[in-house]
Every structure is written in structure tokens, then in C-alpha cells.
Structure 1
Amino acid sequence: MNFDSFDNPKTKRFQRKVTLLSAGGSFLDGYDLTVIAVAMPLFADEWGINAWQKSLVTSAAIFGSFIGAVLLGNLTDRFGRKAMYIVDLLAFVVFAVLTAFSPNVWFLIVFRFLLGLGIGADYPISSTLVAEFAPKKGRGKLSTSLGVMWFVGAVAAYLVGLAVMPLGDYAWRAMLLVGAVFALVVFFFRINLPESPRWLIAHGRTKEALDVVEHVTGERPATIDMSTEPAAERAPLSLLFRGAQRNRTLFVCGFWFCYSTAYYGISMYTPTIIAPFTHGNHTLVILASGVVAVLGLIGSLIGMNIVDIWGRRPLIITSFTGLTVALTVLAAVTNPSLEFLIVLFSIAVLFSNSGGGVLNFVYPTELFPTALRATGSGLATSVSRIGSILGVVAFPNMVAAWGNNAALWVFAAVGLTGTLICVFMAPETKGRGLEEISADAHAPAAAGIGTEQAYA
């Protein structure tokens, strides 16, 4: 079942709408995960917190997103995309408000963890919904736009940080509260979106699926063919690790883990790394870190605009190669200047975000079948969060024990690992329908053999 045959203005308007609202969730993810790095120097001075508490604050939302992606990704496949699509935004609103009014660092850690549950949930939900409504020829661009909006949210965190600096002691609270305002706006616009027809047909609700297609496209198809997809009630989680699907699962989890380890380990501490070179000027720290974030955004825009032209495979291999080279140069230079750090960090995030940072919204939705698409995406998101946690927790401790350069050599090795994973495992899915891609992983099922056997 696909939307390629419904090439009309009504369908395209809806596809843009669902992409924009899903991208709103990605924007919130990027904002909320980045704003804590912007706010850290302010509340750290106010509360006098130690290095261990800083790492807990930084990683709390990532720990939460690890759990949220696993639990709510599975619930999304069980109870529907729409229900969880709205519920996770409520977590953004409620817990973003609570973080802004935290009386001490421990309340902040708890509320950031709870906020992370919603952040983790939104990755598999939003990317799945966009992929299931998108046409196959433009699916890459629509899906990668979610990654682009993540980095728009990251840049917005720096812009908001600069805007509220005149508030003094209340500046960091204002930064966190703005995230709740953004979430409330997205929440109200998401309420009226319909359920995914792919999910409905996978659960035997064919008439409802036809109704949704008619509502979205203005045309009612005679039927919907999902014969190449495993039925929802016959798709246990173990199918992700059987046959050809196993390699797909390992690839998605592997490259995303490497990307997150390197990206979060560096980007979440960019202000901290740069701070000693600015002689205590908080505004200059935010400006310099913001430049790096902007280059990361530019990288994601490049990836979005060439993913359906150049292809997924060459894009992700180039992305990891560029990231690895930049990290290697950073690690090799022992006495860098502020300008050198800004340039090399910018190059690193530009390359990483042009492939790994946007294709993590594409590959999971393309390589997992409908009945397990959100579950598989949630699993991959959770594995990536393990990498994120390692990055944000291990990096400051490695710096303290060995220094910046030794820590950067470790991340260069992670980048190299990601490069090798992509070279040997990355498939090309450009211009192919979701059912066609899914059929490759269980071809015997399409020929009449049961799903369990096909994945054996």
C-alpha cells in the first residue's frame, strides 16, 4: 500500500502537514536536549554543582529517552500511531514546565528524566507516521526533514539562550520554560491527524484504512494490498533478529549507536570545551557553540536535499568518513586555538549530521516491516541512547583522566567503527516502496510461506 498513485494537491498538502507536525516533535527533541548544555554554566554557578551532578543533569533526559523509545515504540505498534503521537507531547509540556521551576539539582534531574520519556517516544512515532504517509520517491526528503528540524531546535536553544541572558539568575529557567510553550503549540495541531492506514490494515481494520485514504487523498481505492507485510498478530519482536532482517536490525542499531556516541559526547560539551578559551565570557561561549550548531544544521540540510538524488548508502558512508577525519585532526592537535576548535567541531558536525544525523529518521522506518516499524525504530533509538549516555557520561571523565586529546582519539575510533559498519552493511533503498523493501527481508512469505518460516 502506498500513496504514489494519489499524486494530487490534496494528498501533497496532507503529506506536508503530517511532516511538519512530526518535525515539530523533532524540533522539540533538539531544543530540549541541547538547551540543557546552554543553561548548564548558569545553574551550575548558581547551585555550585560538581562534575558528577553535571553529568547526571546532562544524561537524565537521555536515560529517559532510552526507556521511552523501548516502551512507547512498542505501544505505538500495539495501540496505534495517533494515540501515542499525542500522548508523548503531553510529557513535553508538563515536564518542561516542571524543569523550569526545579528548586534544586535533584528535582531537575528527575524532571529531565521524565521529559526524556516523551523525547524517546517521539523518535519512532513521528518518523514512522511520516514514512507511512510519504510517497516512495520523496520519502527520503520528507523523513530527513525531521532530522533537519532536530538541528533547527538545537540552534533555537542557543538563540533563546542569547535572548534571555538579560534575565540574569532567571535566564536558565526561561530557557527551559520556552520548550513547554513550543510543545503546547505542536500538541494542539497534532490532535486532528488521522491514524496511519498501514497500521489499520495490519490490524485488520480495512474499512477504516480506506476511510483514511479517502480523507487524505480525496479518492477511495477499491482495496489496499499489504500482502508482503507480516500481519500484526503474527509479528513478534524476535522477527527483528531472524534471517535477512537480522542484518538490517544490526546495521540500524550499529550506525546510530556510533553516531550518537560521537555526536552527543562532543556537542553536549561543546560549551564546556570552549569555555576555558573565552575567559569566563558566557555570551561568547554561547555564540561560539551556536556557530558549531549552525554548521550542524547546514549539514543536515545538505543531506536532506541530496538523499533522494545521491542515495542513502553513499551519503552515510561519506558522512561517517568526514566525521572520523575531523575527529582525528582534532585529537592530533595538542594546543588548539579557539578558532581552530570552532572550525574543526563545525566540520565534524557538518559531516556527521549530513548523513548519520538525518538517516536515523529514514533507515529505521524503511528497513522494519509495518507491524514492527515503531517497535524496531524504538529499539534502534534505545540502542542509540546507550551511545548517547556513553558519550555524555564517559567524555568528561575521560577528559579528567587523560585530557581532551586522548578522549577525542576514542571518539575518532568510534567514528571509524561507524564508517566500517556503513561500508559493509548499508543498503540502498532510494526510490523503493516500503512493501517492496520489506519483501526483500522475507521473500518466502510473499510466495506463500508463513511469516515465522520466512524469518527463520
Structure 2
Amino acid sequence: MHLLGTTTTWFLLDIAFYSQNLFQKDIFSAIGWIPPAKEMNAIHEVYKIARAQTLIALCSTVPGYWFTVAFIDYMGRFAIQLMGFFFMTVFMFALALPYDHWTKKDNRFGFVAMYALTFFFANFGPNATTFVVPAEIFPARLRSTCHGISAAAGKAGAIVGAFGFLYASQSKDPAKTDPGYPTGIGVRNSLIMLGVINFLGMVFTFLVPESKGKSLEELSGETEEDGVEAIEAAGSRTVPV
């Protein structure tokens, strides 16, 4: 059950996290924070997108990691991961449900602030803990394997997020889609889907045990005596001739 918890939470997180990162430009264009691509040359477009993404990173993504480092041994891995998924879910639905409200010019900075908070709670949440927990909760003989399986599930989620939402976030109106892309479900519905994915991540977090304040031996059910006995048993074996 623990492996199911670590793989599903990492998979669901990376769907949400990578898709949010990759279609930032579509969201920022939709709310009018940056001009449409057709109104800019390539260099100007790259500059505008990079400036917006850097602002998001400096105000939310990087501080989120600092908060995790500061509080992970006080709050615990489970609490931070559950809190992160919870607030990511809340802010996604808060952006998606009144989406028409946020697309108005006077409200777009509120949209950006709430969107930035989803990145803050991703990093002060599951984007940190999904990597840490699999390295702590499994027995020594299986730790690397289970961590690798969990990480592979995360990369599978990243692929789904990168390619699936790239198409899904396209406008329903064929005239407004990017060149070469079919119509999608639109930004609003994409945000709703991300909210559902984050909620599922919160649910599956209950399959992940708390590892705060426990040694690796306690978490894996192994003891020092078990290790000594294994060494003695190995040493007592004779090499066949």
C-alpha cells in the first residue's frame, strides 16, 4: 500500500505541476497579462514569457522550497504533502470556477497571485515530499527499487501533463487555437481537471505513512540485531569446492 501511495501521489503531482509550468504562457495570454503571440516577434515573446515565469518562480516556487526545508522536521512529511495538495486543489477551483471574473483586466493580477500560490504550495508540499518519503519508508533491500518505481511513475505523470494538457488547454474555438493544434477543452476546463487531479493526490496521500522523527530501521521494521544476524549468517556459509 505504501508503494501505491508513493507512486500515485508522485504521478498525480507531476501531471499537475508540469502542465502548470508548460502552459503558463497560454494562461497569461488568456488573462491578458502578456500580449497574444501574433502581436509580438519571437524575441519579444520569449522575453515576456521569461519575465512572467521568473516573477512566479521568485515569488512562489523558490520560497516554497525554503518553507519545506524550514518546517519539514516540525510539521512532518505527511502534513506538508496533505496541506500542499489541499491548497493546490482549493486555488485551482478558485481560479477555474469564476474564470470569467479573472479574465477581466482589473482582476488579472489577482489571478496571477492565486496561480502563484499553487506553485508555492506545490513546493511547500508534494513536489518536495514525494521525493523525500520514498527514500525513507521502505526496507533497505527495497529502498532504491521502490524509490525508482515511484520516480518513474512521476516521470510518466510529467509526460501526461506535458503533452495531454498542451492539447487540452487549446481553445474550443478553432480560430483561437495555436497553429497546428486541434481544438481543446479550454483553459477553464483544464484548470478544473487540474483541481480534480490535485484532489486525488490529496486522497492518495493517506496511503503514505509519516516518517518524521523515525529512523530508517523503525520505518522499515528492521533492527540492528537483524543486520548483525544477517552478517553472521552470511559469514557462516562455506564456499563449495
Q: TM-score, normalised by structure 2?
A: 0.76
Distance 2:215 2:204 in 1: 24
Q: Report what 1:416 is aligned to.
A: 199
Deviations 1:330-370 (A, max 9, x none): 11132334423321221101111111011122101002222
Q: Report what 2:15 is aligned to.
A: 261
Deviations 1:119-157 (A, max 9, x none): xxxxxxxxxxxxxxxxxxxxxxxxxxxxxxxxxxxxxxx
Q: Report what 1:373 is aligned to.
A: 143
Distance 1:251 1:267 in 2: 24
The answer on whether the counterparts of 1:320 and 1:416 sit within 8 Å (CA) in structure 2 is: yes
Q: Report what 2:6 is aligned to.
A: 252
Q: Report what 2:54 is aligned to.
A: 290
Q: Report what 2:175 is aligned to.
A: none
Match of 1:274 among 22, 28, 44: 28
Distance 2:53 2:110 in 1: 13
Per-residue deviation, 1:258:
1.3
Q: Name the % identity.
A: 23
Distance 2:48 2:118 in 1: 21
Letter in 2 for 1:251: G
Q: Report what 1:330 is aligned to.
A: 95
What is the correspondence of 1:166-185 to structure 2 with a 5 Å cutoff?
Answer: none
Figure out how many residues of one structure are paired with residues of the other and give that number.
Answer: 198
Q: Report what 2:234 is aligned to.
A: none
What RMSD, in angstroms, separates the aligned Cα atoms of the two structures? Answer: 2.1
Match of 1:340 among 110, 120, 123: 110
The answer on whether the counterparts of 2:61 and 2:119 sit within 8 Å (CA) in structure 1 is: yes
The answer on whether the counterparts of 1:258 and 1:415 sit within 8 Å (CA) in structure 2 is: yes
Letter in 2 for 1:318: M
The answer on whether the counterparts of 1:271 and 1:286 sit within 8 Å (CA) in structure 2 is: no
The answer on whether the counterparts of 1:288 and 1:342 sit within 8 Å (CA) in structure 2 is: no
1:299 aligns with 2:64: yes
2:74 aligned counterpart, secondary structure: coil
Distance 2:76 2:165 in 1: 33
1:435 aligns with 2:199: no
2:157 aligned counterpart, secondary structure: helix
2:221 aligned counterpart, secondary structure: helix
Per-residue deviation, 1:256:
0.8
Q: Which runs of 4+ in 1 moved over 3 A?
A: none
Deviations 1:39-90 (A, max 9, x none): xxxxxxxxxxxxxxxxxxxxxxxxxxxxxxxxxxxxxxxxxxxxxxxxxxxx
Match of 1:402 among 174, 185, 188: 185
The answer on whether the counterparts of 1:291 and 1:342 sit within 8 Å (CA) in structure 2 is: no
1:358 aligns with 2:128: yes
1:427 aligned counterpart, secondary structure: coil
Distance 2:26 2:196 in 1: 22
1:360 aligned counterpart, secondary structure: helix
Per-residue deviation, 1:285:
2.1
Per-residue deviation, 1:290:
1.3
Distance 1:327 1:334 in 2: 10
1:307 aligned counterpart, secondary structure: helix
Q: TM-score, normalised by structure 1?
A: 0.41
What is the correspondence of 1:57-76 to structure 2 with a 5 Å cutoff?
Answer: none
Distance 2:96 2:61 in 1: 20
The answer on whether the counterparts of 2:137 and 2:209 sit within 8 Å (CA) in structure 1 is: no
Distance 2:163 2:116 in 1: 22
Per-residue deviation, 1:291:
1.7
The answer on whether the counterparts of 1:319 and 1:356 sit within 8 Å (CA) in structure 2 is: yes
Per-residue deviation, 1:272:
3.6
Letter in 1 for 2:50: I
Distance 1:368 1:268 in 2: 33
Letter in 1 for 2:137: L
Task: Return 5+ residue gaps in structure 2 as ranges.
Answer: 171-183, 230-241
Q: Report what 2:237 is aligned to.
A: none
The answer on whether the counterparts of 2:78 and 2:210 sit within 8 Å (CA) in structure 1 is: yes
